[in-house]
Every structure is written in structure tokens, then in C-alpha cells.
């Protein structure tokens, strides 16, 4: 008989989560087994599903910014202005003519697909929940913390500046070369974007770069299999990103990423060849709230697999003790600091140790 008490439900759920985790086959494994009914751990709470029906659909799009002409003085000014406006109002924009060749982007997506589609026996050895490992695969980093498990698996790769810390041989062979190549390009683009964002704050081009915002980057290579009951599930629960800046590459299959803006969920429809850029919590903090780190999520779909490669520019890794706070140049008597200083590792731990959609780590650091 099912125990309907709250404690009983929690207990059952924990057992189910453990059993799922131990398969090391992820959501892809359920999909391969031909599961037709969404397993309980993936079903969103009924109050959330009811709430969902109240949301109106809005037909607006986040801005699309074109980087061509970025080295021409007049054009650059216009681009900086577009970036400033998007960062202040949406915290999101799509980017075209970003300089990463299509072949490199396609190669990266293809490598990620090949990794996730390996036999479980070959993938298993990478399965881990130890956040200190540079290369690891798991389903839902927050599996044991969030209310609902997401319909996705992830290969996570941490690389420090110039990919120095990461020995390519640690990477699975099926996506080794493509990841090394993409990583180089995405880091370069990250620095270009930090230059534009620095200028958008009225600071020197190299300001955010010198603060080491792009010292470390982390790639989360997600695989969202086709879902048998998408209306009950979620791909990635609502959250904001903890780092400074996020650069997202996605395959063009379905529109699944959504940003929360003015009380509505807005679809971020894939634009051919575009990357999606969003501001993270730490950039909201150092910009003293001028730039917005917006909450977003990924819905589940009957069609799959959707693949996304999310690059977080997260600042230096390890126990650096590095402190970040609102940039002094931006603080005046009329515009006092609204956030406290943080030690970067403490901030990240706060994020990792709370489930998605519980509260925003950033709110802890308000003055």
C-alpha cells in the first residue's frame, strides 16, 4: 500500500532517486528502454502544473545582436549600446556573426551527441557527482536536492583559462577534438563579450577581463531525450546562472529554452547559426544590479534529442579566496552598493547546495 504521509512520500522518492542514479544510464537509458509513462521522480508537483496553465504566451523575442563590424569605431559604439540595452532589460540576447565557425559549432554538437549515445558500459566510468572532477557525466547535478528531476543528462567539463588545467586525454575520445576546438573559440568570444560589457558599463574595455571573470570556464553538455509525457515534465527547472556570463549553443531541433520576463515565459526560438548569451548572477552583483541575471528554464518535448552546450564563464576555480563585490567605479552617493562582497567559492557552494527553484543565491547578498 502506498504511504501517503509526507515523510513516506519523501522516503519513497529517495529510494527511487537512488535506484535511478545507480543505473548510471541517465534519462537516455529510460528512453532507450521505451518508457511510455513518466516515472514519478520526473513529474512536476500538481500546483506547479496548475500554475503553468495561467501563464499567457507572449510573441516577443529577445534581441538578436550582430557582431559584424565590431572593430569599426562607429559600429562598435552601436553594438555596445545594443548589448547594454539587452543586458539591462532582458539579461539575454542572441548573437550572430560571432566568429565561431559553423563547422566548429556543428562538430561540438555532434561530439556531445556521440558521447551521450555511447553504450552505457562506455559512459559509466565518467558517471560522478563529485564537483571537483574536471570531466564528469551525470543526470541532474541537483537530483537529490530539487523537487523534480529534469528530463536531461549532462556531461560537464571544467577548463581553466587556455584549457591549461584540462588534459585533453581526460576527455572521452568521441568528443575530445571537438571540445578542445570549441573551447578555444568560446573562450575568445567570451573575452570579446566581456570587452563589450565593460564598455557598456562605461569602463575600460579590459576591465572585466582584468577582474578574471573569464579565468575559468565550464561546459555543460546537455542531452534532452524525447519525452513521453512532456506536459508533466521539465527539461531544466527554473534558475539563474551562478557565473558571470553564459554562452549557449543549441541544436535547431525544437524551441525549448525560455526566459522569465515581466511575469511571462518567453520562448527563445533557435536562430540559425546564433548563440544565446545571458548575464549570470555574479555579473549582476559586480554591475551593482545594472545588468540583469534572468531566470530561465528548458521545457520538455516529445521530439528529441535536443542538445545544448552551455559555457559558463565562472571566474577562477578552486580555493582562490577571491572576493567580488560591486565595482567601485560604479558606486556613487546616489547609487550606493546594493550587494555585499562575496568569496567566489562560498557563492558557488551556496548555489550547488540548494535545489534549483528554491531561492536565488544572489538574494542572500543584498545589503
Which C-beta is closer to Ni ion: that of 174 or that of 246?
246
Q: Assess 295 for contact with Ni ion (CB under 5 A).
A: no
Which C-beta is closer to Ni ion: that of 248 or that of 286?
248
Quick check: 85 and 64 in contact, CB under 8 A? no
Task: Determine which residue in the list 94, 138, 146, 250 makes contact with ligand OGA, applying CB under 6 A.
Answer: 250
Q: Which does 250 bind (CB under 5 to 8 A by kind): ligand OGA, Ni ion, none?
A: ligand OGA
Quick check: 286 and 325 in contact, CB under 8 A? yes
Q: What is the DSSP string of 242-279?
A: SSSEEEEEE-SS---EEEEETTEEEE----TT-EEEEE
Q: Assess 342 for contact with ligand OGA (CB under 6 A).
A: no
Those residues with Cβ within 8 angstroms of residue 269's Cβ, 6 or more apart along the chain or in another chain:
61, 255
Task: Determine which residue in the list 28, 98, 123, 222 makes contact with ligand OGA, applying CB under 6 A.
Answer: 222
Which C-beta is closer to ligand OGA: that of 195 or that of 216?
216
Of all residues in the shown chain, the one whose CB is closest to ligand OGA is: 308
Q: Assess 220 for contact with ligand OGA (CB under 6 A).
A: yes
In degrees, rounded to 5, the angle at the alpha carbon of residue 315 between the alpha carbons of residues 309 and 320 is 135
Give min distance, CB of 69 to Ni ion, in A. 30
Closest CA to 339 of 318, 358, 315, 323: 323
Which C-beta is closer to ligand OGA: that of 31 or that of 250?
250
Q: Assess 314 for contact with ligand OGA (CB under 6 A).
A: no
Q: Assess 241 for contact with Ni ion (CB under 5 A).
A: yes
Q: Which range touches Ni ion (CB under 5 A), out of 13-21, 237-245, 263-271, 285-293?
A: 237-245
In degrees, rounded to 5, the angle at the alpha carbon of residue 123 between the alpha carbons of residues 122 and 124 is 95
How is residue 42 written as a grid cell? Answer: 520526473
Q: Assess 356 for contact with ligand OGA (CB under 6 A).
A: no
Q: Assess 308 for contact with ligand OGA (CB under 6 A).
A: yes
Closest CA to 111 of 173, 183, 188, 186: 173
Of all residues in the shown chain, the one whose CB is closest to Ni ion is: 241
Measured in degrees and rounded to the nearest 5, phi and psi for residue 202 equal 80, 20
Q: What is the DSSP string of 182-233?
A: HHHHHHHHHHHHHHHHHHHTTS-TTHHHHTTTTSEEEEEEEEE---S-GGG-
Phi-psi group of 162: left, alpha or beta (phi > 0 → left; psi -120 to 50 → alpha; rest → beta): left
Q: Assess 241 for contact with ligand OGA (CB under 6 A).
A: yes
Q: Which does 25 bind (CB under 5 to 8 A by kind): Ni ion, ligand OGA, none?
A: none
Per-residue binder mask for ligand OGA (CB under 6 A), 261-300, x = binder: -----------------------------------x-x--
Task: Determine which residue in the list 139, 183, 236, 293 makes contact with ligand OGA, applying CB under 6 A.
Answer: 236
Which C-beta is closer to ligand OGA: that of 94 or that of 308?
308
Per-residue binder mask for ligand OGA (CB under 6 A), 56-75, x = binder: --------------------
Which C-beta is closer to ligand OGA: that of 100 or that of 155?
155
Binding residues for ligand OGA, total number by CB under 6 A? 11
C-alpha dist (Å) from residue 109 to 82, 174, 290: 28, 11, 33
Q: Which does 308 bind (CB under 5 to 8 A by kind): Ni ion, ligand OGA, none?
A: ligand OGA
DSSP, collapsed to helix, strand or coil, labels residue 99 as coil
Quick check: 223 and 153 in contact, CB under 8 A? yes
Contact positions vs ligand OGA (CB under 6 A):
220, 222, 236, 241, 248, 250, 257, 296, 298, 308, 310
Contact positions vs Ni ion (CB under 5 A):
241
Amino acid at each position: 500500500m502506498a504511504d501517503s504521509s509526507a515523510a513516506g512520500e519523501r522516503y519513497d522518492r529517495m529510494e527511487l532517486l537512488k535506484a535511478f542514479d545507480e543505473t548510471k544510464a541517465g534519462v537516455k537509458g529510460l528512453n532507450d528502454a521505451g518508457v511510455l509513462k513518466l516515472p514519478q521522480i520526473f513529474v512536476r508537483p500538481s500546483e506547479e502544473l496548475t500554475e503553468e496553465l495561467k501563464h499567457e504566451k507572449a510573441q516577443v523575442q529577445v534581441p538578436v545582436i550582430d557582431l559584424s563590424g565590431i572593430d569599426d569605431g562607429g559600429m562598435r559604439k552601436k553594438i555596445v549600446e545594443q548589448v547594454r540595452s539587452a543586458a539591462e532589460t532582458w539579461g539575454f540576447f542572441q548573437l550572430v556573426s560571432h566568429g565561431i565557425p559553423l563547422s566548429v559549432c556543428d562538430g561540438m554538437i555532434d561530439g556531445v551527441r556521440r558521447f551521450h549515445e555511447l553504450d552505457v558500459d562506455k559512459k559509466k566510468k565518467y558517471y560522478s557527482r563529485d564537483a571537483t572532477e574536471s570531466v564528469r557525466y551525470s543526470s541532474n547535478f541537483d537530483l537529490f536536492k530539487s523537487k523534480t528531476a529534469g528530463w536531461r543528462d549532462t556531461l560537464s567539463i571544467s577548463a581553466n583559462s587556455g584549457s591549461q588545467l584540462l588534459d585533453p586525454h581526460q576527455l572521452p575520445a568521441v568528443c575530445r577534438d571537438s571540445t578542445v576546438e570549441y573551447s578555444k573559440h568560446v573562450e575568445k568570444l567570451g573575452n570579446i563579450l566581456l570587452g563589450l560589457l565593460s564598455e557598456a558599463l562605461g569602463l575600460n574595455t579590459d576591465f572585466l577581463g582584468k577582474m578574471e571573470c573569464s579565468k575559468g570556464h565550464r561546459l555543460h553538455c546537455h542531452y534532452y531525450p524525447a519525452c513521453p509525457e512532456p506536459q508533466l515534465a521539465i527539461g531544466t527547472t527554473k534558475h539563474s546562472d551562478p557565473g558571470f556570463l553564459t554562452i549557449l549553443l543549441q541544436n535547431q531541433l525544437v524551441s525549448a529554452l525560455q526566459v522569465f520576463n515581466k511575469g511571462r515565459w518567453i520562448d527563445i526560438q533557435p536562430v540559425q547559426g546564433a548563440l544565446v548569451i545571458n548575464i549570470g548572477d555574479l555579473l549582476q552583483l559586480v554591475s551593482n544590479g545594472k545588468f540583469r541575471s534572468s531566470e530561465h528554464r528548458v521545457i520538455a518535448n516529445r521530439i528529441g534529442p535536443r542538445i545544448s552546450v552551455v559555457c559558463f564563464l565562472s571566474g577562477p576555480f578552486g580555493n582562490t579566496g577571491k572576493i567580488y563585490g560591486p565595482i567601485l567605479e560604479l558606486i556613487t552617493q546616489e547609487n550606493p552598493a546594493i550587494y555585499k562582497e562575496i568569496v567566489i567559492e562560498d557563492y558557488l557552494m551556496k548555489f550547488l547546495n540548494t535545489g534549483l527553484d528554491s531561492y536565488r543565491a544572489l538574494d542572500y547578498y543584498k545589503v
